[in-house]
Amino acid sequence: MKAYRAAILRFSHEREPRQAAVFEEDGLLVLGPDASGTQVVQAVGPYQELRDRFCGVATEHLPGRIIAPGFVDMHNHFAQIDVIGSPADGLLPWLESHTFPEEQRFSSAEYSARAAPFFIEELLRNGVTTALSFASGRSESVQALFCEAQRRHMRLITGLCLMDRNAPAGVLNRASPDGSRQATEQGLLDSEALLQRWHGKDRLGYALTPRFAPSCSEGQLRGAAELAARHPDVWIQSHVAENTDEIAWARRLFPASRSYLSIYADFGLLRSRAVYAHCIHLDDDDRALMRGAGAAAAVCPTSNLFLGSGFFDYAAADRIGFRYGLASDVGGGTSFSPFHTMLAAYYVGREGQTKQGLSLSPQHLWWQHTAGAASALGLDGQRGRPAVGNLQVGCEADFVILNPQATPLLARRTERADSLDELLFAMIVLGDDRLIERTVISQALLTIPEN
Ligand SMILES: [Zn+2]
């Protein structure tokens, strides 16, 4: 067992609203193995209440520091690490001129294996301890990412990007080496082989990953849905309703479906554990479809602002009541830092010209990137499943140690904060990787070296 004494931020399991934070100014976090040997939270609360019970446990005292749940990034792209910060005239030109040429490089096992340690390290350095990631359309990239995440004991979900049309041949799924199977069938076979090898191994999970409807033939979407039906506990991830040109294209390719989102529903790809990135240009029927299916939106504000895609409608999402959480969408997104993503989500919420503008509270922003995102992924401890993104008893011990004095301005501004909201908002607005003094990963309680 090991304990940490510091200020502690977490989210209530029981109280409503669930996005309301619980904050101990002087707290104790006690960690130890559960029945399976995974390091989990054994106790958490005010130091004065817990100190006698755990006086024999080695305790690290961290005055002036805040312990908070590790961040959960609901959507990013491993194979886009080197196109971050590449400008273009919107989504489709960006894919064509930057993304597809780069993703072709990830058909090399060696290239993928060189990139994976950097990608995982960058997530951890920024305090992200759980991620749902796209790999490329080639198995080599998926293998490399799983291997590295496993080595770092990180909770990571990824999958082979399914795409059998409308992109350069080097990005699409491969045909079988002997030519007996086309890309459509081979991509599905490769997905199933990867799923069987990696899903549920250590802290890893598999996501069936049709890139987006325009890059997938009907046969491939049908095949992905069949795999999903055979493996109900794997994730599904894709993109929807990001950009108006993309929507018009998807509608032309699938004229029988009522909307872009309906394409996925019509093929059987909308369910719980299905995560759709963006969900910007939805109508209320689409939102009801998301809610009814138990699917979740990965909101990607830095990407949406960078590519000029539009603004996620928080008021409409809450009115209908479907699940969502935050995501970096690197490399369309501009930062690995959850602080940059939370601030961009605030900007997106405020925008009031194309939808209702509102001021998302700091606690709500933080919840969207931790406990809320974990809940949207089905990783909130329900039905005996793992719990991440929070620091309640039983949660896996993934957390960050924040130093609110990390920069002169942060130190000055957080010193003046006289409420929790003020403190959190100062960190959201002024924070970046410098705020993350340490990222601690469960299991072997591996500690990522300090910045
Ligand atoms: Zn994306």
Alpha helices (runs of H) in 321-360, residue ranges in sequence order = 338-350
Query: For residue 20, how far is its CA from the centre of ligand 1 (angstroms)?
Result: 29
Query: For residue 121, how far is its CA from the centre of ligand 1 (angstroms)?
Result: 20
104 pLDDT higher than 70: yes
**Per-residue buried b or exposed e for 214-247, using 16+ beta carbons within 10 Å of the residue's own CB:** bbbbeebbbbbbebbeebeebbbbbbbbbbeebb
Query: For residue 394, how far is its CA from the centre of ligand 1 (angstroms)?
Result: 32
| Rounded Cα distance, 332 and 76, in Å | 9
447 pLDDT higher than 90: no
- Residues 437 and 65 sit within 8 Å (Cβ to Cβ): yes
Query: For residue 98, how far is its CA from the centre of ligand 1 (angstroms)?
Result: 14
Amino acid at 122: E
Query: For residue 432, how far is its CA from the centre of ligand 1 (angstroms)?
Result: 22
Query: For residue 430, how far is its CA from the centre of ligand 1 (angstroms)?
Result: 26
| Rounded Cα distance, 100 and 336, in Å | 21
235-240 and 161-162 strand pairing? unpaired
Residue-wise pLDDT for 251-290, tens only, equals 999 999 999 999 999 999 999 999 999 999 999 999 999 9
Query: For residue 273, how far is its CA from the centre of ligand 1 (angstroms)?
Result: 17
Q: What is the mean pLDDT of the chain?
A: 95
Name 317's Cβ contacts closer than 8 Å, sequence gap at least 6: 279, 287, 297, 324
Query: For residue 224, how far is its CA from the centre of ligand 1 (angstroms)?
Result: 18
Query: For residue 134, how far is its CA from the centre of ligand 1 (angstroms)?
Result: 8
What band does 17 get if pLDDT is binned at 50, 70 and 90? Answer: confident
Closest Cα partner for 31 from 330, 436, 392?
Answer: 392
What distance, in Å, lies between the first and last C-alpha atoms of the chain? 25
| pLDDT at residue 138, as a whole number | 97
What band does 446 get if pLDDT is binned at 50, 70 and 90? Answer: low
Query: For residue 151, how far is its CA from the centre of ligand 1 (angstroms)?
Result: 25
Residue-wise pLDDT for 371-419, tens only, equals 999 999 999 998 888 899 999 999 999 999 999 999 999 999 999 999 9
Query: For residue 239, how far is its CA from the centre of ligand 1 (angstroms)?
Result: 6
3-state secondary structure of 446: strand
| Rounded Cα distance, 120 and 122, in Å | 5
Least confident of 34-38, 247-251, 326-330, 397-401: 34-38
What band does 208 get if pLDDT is binned at 50, 70 and 90? Answer: very high
Query: For residue 325, how far is its CA from the centre of ligand 1 (angstroms)?
Result: 14
The whole model's pTM is what? 0.97
Query: For residue 105, how far is its CA from the centre of ligand 1 (angstroms)?
Result: 18
Query: For residue 406, how far is its CA from the centre of ligand 1 (angstroms)?
Result: 31
Query: For residue 381, how far is its CA from the centre of ligand 1 (angstroms)?
Result: 26
The two three-digit tokens of residue 101, written as one number: 């040429």
Which tops the pLDDT comparison, 141 or 19? 141
- Residues 120 and 86 sit within 8 Å (Cβ to Cβ): no
Query: For residue 329, how far is its CA from the centre of ligand 1 (angstroms)?
Result: 5
What band does 449 get if pLDDT is binned at 50, 70 and 90? Answer: low
1 pLDDT higher than 60: yes
DSSP label at 81? G
| Rounded Cα distance, 39 and 197, in Å | 24
Closest Cα partner for 340 from 428, 212, 211, 401?
Answer: 428
Query: For residue 80, how far is its CA from the centre of ligand 1 (angstroms)?
Result: 9
224 pLDDT higher than 70: yes
What band does 37 get if pLDDT is binned at 50, 70 and 90? Answer: confident
Query: For residue 330, how far is its CA from the centre of ligand 1 (angstroms)?
Result: 7
| pLDDT at residue 171, as a whole number | 95
Mean pLDDT of 329-352: 98
Mean pLDDT of 295-301: 98
